[in-house]
Amino acid sequence: MHPLFDLTGKVALVTGATHGLGLAMAEGLASAGATLVINGHSSREKIDTAVSYLRDKGYSAHGYRFNVCNEDEVEQAIAGIESEVGPIDVLVNNAGIIKRIPILEMELSDWMDVIDTDLTGVFVMTKPVAKRMVARRQGKIINICSMMSELGRDSVSAYAAAKGGLKMLTRNMATEWARHNIQVNGIGPGYFATEQTKPIRVDGHPFNDFIVSRTPAGKWGDPSDLQGAAIYLAAPASDFVSGQIIYVDGGILATIGKPSNEA
- CATH number of the domain at 38, please: 3.40.50.720
Is residue 229 assigned to a domain?
A: yes
**pLDDT tens, N- to C-terminus, the chain (263 residues):** 899 999 999 999 999 999 999 999 999 999 999 999 999 998 899 999 999 999 999 999 999 999 999 999 999 999 999 999 999 999 999 999 999 999 999 999 999 999 999 999 999 999 999 999 999 999 999 999 999 999 998 999 999 999 999 999 999 999 999 999 999 999 999 999 998 888 889 888 998 999 999 999 999 999 999 999 999 999 999 999 999 999 999 999 999 877 666 54
Is residue 258 assigned to a domain?
A: no
Which residue segment(s) compose the domain that 183 sits in?
3-248
The number of distinct structural domains making up the chain is 1
The residues annotated as belonging to the active site are 159
Q: Sort strands 35-40 and 139-144 into parallel, antiparallel or unpaired.
A: unpaired
Is residue 263 assigned to a domain?
A: no
Is residue 61 assigned to a domain?
A: yes
Which one, of 56, 60, 22, lies nearest residue 40 by Cα? 22
Measure the CA dihedral 159/164/166/172, to 10°. -160
Single-letter amino acid code for the residue at 12: A
Is residue 89 assigned to a domain?
A: yes
Is residue 261 assigned to a domain?
A: no
Is residue 254 assigned to a domain?
A: no
- Cα–Cα distance measured from residue 174 to residue 154, given in angstroms and rounded to the nearest whole number: 31
Is residue 172 assigned to a domain?
A: yes
